Amino acid sequence: EAGVVQSPRYKIIEKKQPVAFWCNPISGHNTLYWYRQNLGQGPELLIRYENEEAVDDSQLPKDRFSAERLKGVDSTLKIQPAELGDSAVYLCASSRTGYEQYFGPGTRLTVT
Amino acid sequence: GDSVTQMEGPVTLSEEAFLTINCTYTATGYPSLFWYVQYPGEGLQLLLKATKADDKGSNKGFEATYRKETTSFHLEKGSVQVSDSAVYFCALSDQSGNQFYFGTGTSLTVIP
């Protein structure tokens, strides 16, 4: 089966600009996660979806970050406006069971 | 709260050496435990898992045993190869499957 697809793979923007990341999960996976991974660190959860519903967004900085998962399939994560500290790799993962997650290749964001 | 602690790197080994990467966890109830591997420029890949005490997960020559008495899930491989060079993450899924926690990662470099 096809894996989790993310785009773009790399993005360089100036601070205060908006940016969006897209994720298409594995077919049939109802749970979708967005993580942020800072250099030399493990992934940190930003938001988790069960189908269309965001069931855990407690770690999402809501003043500048937003996410949506229309129709319960693919998802978009947006940052507006971006700050220097947002430079990181943004990972999308999906799961059928809620226990075992499958990750996409990530989007490496550089904010200058 | 639940958490995962893994040994800090970087770890450098010669080819065919024995590998151990320590991981301990704190959790209530009966979590599931995972090891993920991240190759340069890629997302995380599930390496192995264990869902209950005394389970042994294994894949590609790597093994880890879920030890509830010592709250540990150490990763081992008897003979590492250059291609094993990557960052390894220990992770925990809580009993409900709703929360996922990653360690900070251990970088492994295998030299010929």
The pLDDT tens digits for A18-41 are 999 999 999 999 999 999 999 888
Which residue of chain B comes nearest to A39, CA vs CA? B104
Per the CB < 8 A criterion, the answer to whether B64 and B76 are in contact is yes
pLDDT tens, residue by residue, B91-105: 999 887 778 899 999
Using beta carbons and an 8 Å cutoff, which residues of A are at the interface with B?
4, 6, 33, 40-45, 48, 55-56, 91, 93, 97-106
Q: Which residue has the tokens 């660190």?
A: A41
Closest to B32 in 3D by CA, of B78, B6, B59, B68: B68
Supply the Cα-derived Rg of chain A in whole angstroms.
Answer: 13
Q: pLDDT value at position A41?
A: 87
Q: pLDDT value at position A70?
A: 83
Q: Give the C-alpha separation, B99 to B28, whole Å.
A: 12
Nearest to B32 among A6, A33, A99 (CB): A99
Q: pLDDT value at position A98?
A: 67
Q: How far is CA B74 from CA A44, A67, B89, in A?
A: 22, 36, 11
Residue segments in chain A with a per-residue pLDDT below the cut of 70: 1, 98
Q: Give the C-alpha separation, B31 to B68, whole Å.
A: 10
Residue B83's SS3 state is: helix
The more confident residue out of B8 and B61 is B61
pLDDT band at B45 (very low <50, low <70, confident <90, very high): very high
Q: Do B105 and A42 touch (CB under 8 A)?
A: yes
User: With pLDDT > 70 as the criterion, what percentage of chain B qualifies?
Assistant: 100
pLDDT tens, residue by residue, B5-41: 998 889 999 999 999 999 999 998 889 999 999 998 8
Q: pLDDT value at position B23?
A: 97
Which residues in chain B touch residue A55, judged by CB atoms under 8 angstroms apart? 98
A99: closest CA of chain B, how far (Å): 5
Which residues in chain A touch residue B51, judged by CB atoms under 8 angstroms apart? 99
Q: pLDDT value at position A61?
A: 92
Q: Do B43 and A41 touch (CB under 8 A)?
A: no
